[in-house]
Amino acid sequence: MLLLVQYTLIFASVLLLVALGGCFSEHSGVINLGLEGIMVIGALGGALMMRYLPAGTSGFMIVILTLLAAIVFGVAYSALLAVASINFKADQTIVGTALNMLGTAGATVLVKAINTAANPDDVSSTIQYIEPKKAFIVNIGSFEFNWFMVVAVIMLIFAYVVLYKTKFGLRLMACGEHPQAADSVGIDVHKMRWAGVLISGMLGGLGGICYILAGVSEWKFENGVAGFGFLALAVMIFGQWKPTRIALAALLFGFFRALSNVYFGFDWLVSLNIPGSVYNMMPYIISLIVLALTSQHSRAPKAEGIPYDKGMR
Amino acid sequence: MESPYAIEMLHITKRFPGIIANDDITLQLKRGEIHALLGENGAGKSTLMSVLFGLYQAEEGVIKKDGKEVQIKDPNDANDLGIGMVHQHFKLVECFTVLDNIILGVEPSKHGFLQKKEAREKVLALSEKYGLQVDPDALIEDITVGMQQRTEILKMLYRDNEILIFDEPTAVLTPQEIEELMQIMKNLAAEGKSILFISHKLAEIMAVADRCTVLRKGKYIGTVETKNTTMEQLSAMMVGRNVNFHVEKKPAHPGEVILDVEGMTVASKVHKNDAVKNVSFKVRAGEIVCIAGIDGNGQTELVYGLSGLEPLKSGTITLMGKDITNASIRKRSTSGMSHIPEDRHKHGLVLDYPLEYNLILQRYFEPQFTSKAGFLKRPPIREYANRLIEEYDVRSGQGAVTPARAMSGGNQQKAIIAREIDKDPELLIAVQPTRGLDVGAIEFVHKQLVAQRDAGKAVLLVSLELDEVMDVPDRILVMYEGEIVGELDPKTTTQEELGLYMAGAKRDEVKA
Amino acid sequence: MKKNLLKSDAVQSLIASFLCIILGLLIGFIVLLFINPTGAWDAIVAVMKNFLTYSRANLQMKNFGNTLVKTAPLLMCALSVLFAYKVGLFNIGAAGQYVAGVCASIYAALAWGWGWFPCMILAIVFGAALGAVVGLLKAYCNVNEVISGIMLNWIGLYLTNMLLTKVKESTSPYTLHIKSAAPQALLPGLGLGALFNNNQYVTIAIPLAIIAAIVILVVLEKTKFGYELKATGNNKNAAKYAGMAEKRNIILTLIIAGALAGIGGALLYLTDYEQWQCTQTSVPGMGFNGIAATFLGGLNPIGTIFASYFIQHITSGGAYVDKTMYCSQISDLISSIIIYLCGFVLFIKYAINQGIAKSEEKKLQKEKLAAAEAKGGEK
């Protein structure tokens, strides 16, 4: 039971971080379908940092530097989306999709190259981080408390405050709702959208490293992040682009994802004799159902997905 | 010596590929005056304002503020010079409050955090001073158009702008709201603000402006003092000839009922109330019935309900004795209903299709254009398109194969009218068919409508233009807040009376 | 004359596609340089050469055949994406629909002993069913087709793993060989294999896929259905106004798109070229590469044939890179870079048009100047 709570919280943290990322991007007017790829690259950044940190590094420094690396990678990678969709008015769906594929392919190529260089017989795309991972975890009894749960809560507060209490948030949302209006009062729409996308890169990168640290001590980059970027988008839509509601939605989705990891710990679930694949499918099925029920009346930022062209005002 | 002019635009020339949008135009705005800028659609008013706001850079000419030459490279420069504008299409974020919209871009803040308290006080004080009456905490999507416009005015005042530009501000207002706006403008001028009032409505210009500059086809025609001129003179300056606004038509001979609407109610997409409430009316063969009213009083939804774009909540629609309440759009169309839509880019045309494909948009499935196996018949389609192009004088670069996108607005509209009329409908619904067209094209459209009437068809016209409402139809039904509040005879009524109905100040129990 | 040529949309698409390929390869090369400068050039050459790496002509032909065997399903996926895109829908679910086709065809062949044709029909039905779900959700619940498509990809993958576990080899995670366990389901070769040095995997799949492309072209350009679909894609409000059944068309389109991708699955696995790995944890890239082929092909069915071949050519070429330095995924890397660049196609076309307009204006001015001078001379 405790294990279920633990996994629910950690997966909810992932979904919350990434969904908040999507939320920032969409509030600025850019649909970020590339979150999946951003997660992979963020995870790559964090994993590489953990791999190359010297053995004696203090736990605190490991956590900080790993997070920082994930953020830097995520932000840098999201710039690819920003430049294409904002400056070149590229189709956001195509570019987002390309980023997802590029993320997995690029990370695989890089990690394999690193592994092969270190050991010519090693052609895997796996990075191990058994030791540094311990820095992220505090054992409270049998409950593994993970620092990412704190990070997620901090980011939730950060998102709420930034969006609703600051000048920046007001301007950002204006750009996603009515960029012509924002432009007419001297707000640089392109700059704000860049900011929105880069913040989503930061949160997506954090979510990525959080995801690969969630259950295991090594990650095979060929696998990407199994649609989590898209689950996060479903969470965002279910949460109606509002941080607090997104947090609740993330908990719900996190629960179903956690089930697939721990269902064998429940005798009555095991006795039902349902194949493991069914539990694996659960989060995706739930998200389809949730989207079917909520999408009809959802109120997305009005100008999302439409490139802003100064000539059109 | 200090210049008497707050802002001057001297000898402005702005070219676009193929056209000269502004050709040596001079506009001088005195401090504390209300100055009208008059011109038809396409006369170059918008371009001139875009130059003033730094959206475009003029190839020739200078802009002076208080006698000193200034460079305006982007809207921020204009803001810095104290120039503000109420755009024709409001620049308001609908899910924000009035206050948030006002402070957007000049937010009072401490370390990046919003400090709304003092802003609210300033807004309330300004609102009081100029009699603007807005609730700073209301959401834009919940308030009336008039309130939204006053929010726009507050936006300028909050920024301490000295030069206020109003771009066609009355188009969306009721006559009574227009009165209020005029008063507000006069108050502002009395406080020393300089006002530029862009319009093509002569009466309003005569009523409120001190001077008037007239543009025609990108050229500067002249500047006159309104007290020394007449509407006729202004009109002549604007169009270059005396136009006959009156539509020539013989008396109507209404026949049998073609369209019979009973108790129609249509839900609104934007708010919780119904957009159309229990509306009943009839349209007969051989008459033009006009639905008049201020924009946003349910006309759009009424037409959506009639054409099948939106379902009815209740009520019935009968077309030539057949109940079509639940019929599909296609069924309505083939049963004899034609529809010239309000928004030709949204509904009327597939812009990336060639003209010929657009001309068969309502009939492509007919056996003359599609074979039994489902293949399009190219030669008959081309022939048909060429015939319509000829008959309705639709002009385009490459004839039938021109992409609709590459055609002018007037010719796009002609193509739609050709398509809808050539279907030989029993009922023609025309929604704002002359919007954005020049005088010549308007005349053409009105003639077509009258011709349909004379051919014994029923015509339902929906219009926002008072001139059109008064001249074209045989009967006027006025809509206010989703209801039909009056039936008027255009021959006996006056614009003033019409205005009272449109503003909801007067209503009858109508059973048309 | 030359200018007119540049103005044509087809020529512009072609230029844009080639630019994407060249830039994609260039960027890929630069990435490889970063990873390991010594072998980068050789690796790019290996990817480009693919089967030409072999010096013997018969081996070249055999491996050319292998590339074609995998081009057929890729082309089907690309057509699936293309068809949906014409209605304005982004069928990222093609990947899952392809998997559904794989699942149906293998299962029917191995478990029920069906022949190749009914197997293929079942693959169509499975693919179409998955497409229909996306379509229904889009039409009636306004669910973004990209998100629902991705979700269904995963659901499809797990379902397939579950089902095909019943027909797998007892000692490996792979499904049984069709050739030995269900030869009745093998696609007929019609002797096509003989052209490719007796490559047994070369079957009617390849001509079938090309025929499918032509059929799609005809449907889009010549029929009432195509007229409706493209109208809906360009302006769905106008399509609704014109009485076209928008919802029906959305659903129908995605059903057809799903069917196309589903056939793709059957076209590959019924040749026994590959067997399904029942422990697979990621959705096969076929459907995603289809997106690359669609856009690289300039959204034209015929262009898509060539683009599919190109994408498959470099994907297969990835197998020939020096494994001590890089892995075969560098071709995935290059094709994803190419998709990314395809996002810029509109901009490239815009730039071309701007260039034309500028040069025309210059020419016009020159003519004016010349005319003025000529006038001056006369005086």
d(CA B301, CA B299): 5
**Quick one: three-class SS letters along B186-241?**
HHHHHCCCEEEEEECCHHHHHHHCCEEEEEECCEEEEEEEHHHCCHHHHHHHHHCC
Question: Do the chains contact at B114 and A167, CB–CB below 8 Å?
Answer: yes
| Angle of CA points B155, B161, B167, to nearest 5° | 65
pLDDT-based confidence at residue B41 (cuts at 50, 70, 90):
low
d(CA B342, CA B309): 13
Which residues, in sequence order, are bridge partners of residue A139? A144
Amino acid found at B225? E
Which residues, in sequence order, are bridge partners of residue C117? none
Amino acid found at C302? I
Helices (H), B425-494: 439-454, 466-471
Class of domain A2-305: mainly alpha
Which of C147, C326, C340 lies nearest to residue A109, judging by beta carbons?
Answer: C326
d(CA A189, CA A197): 12
Average pLDDT taken over every residue of chain A = 89
Is B319 in contact with B332 (CB distance < 8 Å)?
A: yes
Domains and CATH numbers, chain B: 5-239 (3.40.50.300), 245-336+426-512 (3.40.50.300), 342-424 (no CATH)
Average pLDDT taken over every residue of chain B = 88
d(CA C92, CA C94): 5
What is the distance between the terminal CA atoms of chain B, rounded to a whole angstrom? 67
Q: What would the pLDDT profile of A141-186 be if each residue is shown by its tens digit?
A: 778 888 889 999 999 999 999 999 999 999 999 999 999 999 888 8
pLDDT the model gives residue B510: 52
pLDDT the model gives residue A313: 40
Chain C hits for A123, Cβ within 8 Å: 323, 327
For residue A261, give both structure tokens: 């990891």
Chain B hits for A185, Cβ within 8 Å: 75, 79, 91, 104-106, 155
Which of C143, C155, C324 lies nearest to residue A116, judging by beta carbons?
Answer: C324
pLDDT the model gives residue C1: 38
Residues whose CB falls within 8 Å of the CB of residue C53, separated by 6 or more in sequence, listed in order: C46, C320
For C339, the closest chain A residue by CA position comes to A98
DSSP secondary structure string, B235-275?
Answer: HHHHHSS----SPP-PPP---SEEEEEEEEEEE-SSSSSEE
pLDDT the model gives residue B358: 95
CA distance readout (Å), B199 to B42, B454, C5, C328: 12, 34, 45, 67
pLDDT the model gives residue B241: 57
Q: What would the pLDDT profile of B129-183 be if each residue is shown by its tens digit?
A: 888 888 999 999 888 888 899 999 999 999 999 999 998 888 777 777 888 899 9
Count of CB atoms situated within 10 Å of the CB of C363? 11
pLDDT-based confidence at residue B201 (cuts at 50, 70, 90):
confident
Q: Is A277 on the interface with C (CB under 8 A)?
A: yes
Low-confidence ranges of chain C (pLDDT < 70): 1-4, 375-379
Is A7 in contact with A261 (CB distance < 8 Å)?
A: yes
pLDDT the model gives residue A312: 44
Q: Which long-range contacts (CB under 8 A, 24 or more apart) does B472-475 make?
A: B472/B247, B472/B288, B472/B290, B472/B446, B473/B288, B473/B289, B473/B290, B474/B252, B474/B254, B474/B287, B474/B288, B474/B289, B475/B287, B475/B288, B475/B289, B475/B290, B475/B512
C70-313 is classed CATH 2.60.40: no
* Phi, psi (deg, nearest 5) at residue C313: -60, -50
Mean pLDDT within B377-390:
94
Task: State the Rg of chain A over Cα.
Answer: 20
Mean pLDDT within B386-391:
93
For residue A264, give both structure tokens: 């064998």
Q: Which chains touch A (3 or more CB pairs under 8 A)?
A: B, C
Chain C hits for B348, Cβ within 8 Å: 238, 241
- Which among A9-23, A248-262, B189-203, C158-172 has the top mean pLDDT? A9-23
Amino acid found at B343? D
Q: What would the pLDDT profile of B56-103 be if each residue is shown by its tens digit?
A: 888 899 999 998 999 998 878 888 899 998 987 789 999 999 999 999
Chain A hits for B91, Cβ within 8 Å: 178, 180-181, 184-185
d(CA A47, CA A108): 13
Report the run of H or E that residue B461 belongs to, with start and end.
strand B458-462
Q: Which long-range contacts (CB under 8 A, 24 or more apart) does C64-68 make?
A: C64/C196, C65/C193, C65/C195, C65/C196, C65/C197, C65/C199, C65/C201, C65/C202, C66/C199, C66/C201, C66/C273, C66/C316, C67/C309, C67/C312, C67/C313, C67/C316, C68/C196, C68/C202, C68/C206, C68/C309
pLDDT-based confidence at residue B461 (cuts at 50, 70, 90):
very high
Determine the residue among B350, B372, B381 to mutate to test chain C binding: the one whose Cβ has the most chain C Cβ atoms within 10 Å.
B350
d(CA C38, CA B480): 78
pLDDT-based confidence at residue B270 (cuts at 50, 70, 90):
low
Amino acid found at B324? I
Q: Which residues of B touch C (CB under 8 A)?
A: 17, 307-309, 328-333, 339, 341, 346-353, 357, 361-362, 364-365, 370, 374-376
A positions 143-182 inside 8 Å of B (CB): 165-168, 170-171, 173-174, 177-178, 180-182
Which of A166, A183, A310 lies nearest to residue B114, judging by beta carbons?
Answer: A166
Chain A hits for B76, Cβ within 8 Å: 186
For A278, the closest chain C residue by CA position comes to C158
Which of B17, B328, B347 lies nearest to residue C237, judging by beta carbons?
Answer: B347
Chain A hits for C343, Cβ within 8 Å: 84-85, 88, 90-91, 94-95, 98
The answer, yes or no, to whether residue B26 has pLDDT greater than 70, is: yes
For residue C5, give both structure tokens: 């040529």
Q: What would the pLDDT profile of B327-377 be if each residue is shown by its tens digit?
A: 999 999 999 999 999 888 899 999 989 999 999 999 999 999 999 999 999
* Total beta-carbon pairs less than 8 A apart between chain A and chain C: 156
d(CA B236, CA B439): 13
d(CA C44, CA A299): 47
Chain C hits for A292, Cβ within 8 Å: 137, 141, 143
Chain A hits for C85, Cβ within 8 Å: none
In chain C, where the domains are located: 70-313
In chain A, where the domains are located: 2-305
Three-class DSSP category at C166 = helix
d(CA B399, CA B160): 52
The answer, yes or no, to whether residue B42 has pLDDT greater than 80, is: no
Nearest to B466 by CA among B230, B201, B229: B201
- Residue B359: HSE in the Cβ half-sphere, 13 Å Cα cutoff: 29
Nearest to A86 by CA among A313, A308, A311: A308
pLDDT the model gives residue B258: 95
Q: Is A95 on the interface with C (CB under 8 A)?
A: yes
Taking phi over 0 as left and psi of -120 to 50 as alpha, with beta for the rest, B7 belongs to: beta
DSSP structural state of residue A9: H
pLDDT the model gives residue B245: 56
Mean pLDDT within B215-224:
89
Chain C nearest CA to A50, separation (Å): 19
**Secondary structure E strands in B17-110:** 19-30, 34-38, 60-65, 68-70, 83-86, 109-110
A positions 1-40 inside 8 Å of C (CB): 33
Chain A hits for B103, Cβ within 8 Å: 170
The answer, yes or no, to whether residue A215 has pLDDT greater than 80, is: no
Determine the residue among A85, A94, A95, A296 to mutate to test chain C binding: the one whose Cβ has the most chain C Cβ atoms within 10 Å.
A94
pLDDT the model gives residue A91: 87
CA distance readout (Å), A280 to A235, A259, C285: 17, 8, 20
Q: What would the pLDDT profile of A9-29 be if each residue is shown by its tens digit?
A: 999 999 999 999 999 999 999
pTM assigned to the model: 0.86
pLDDT the model gives residue B426: 95
Q: Which residue has the higher pLDDT, A16 or A55?
A: A16
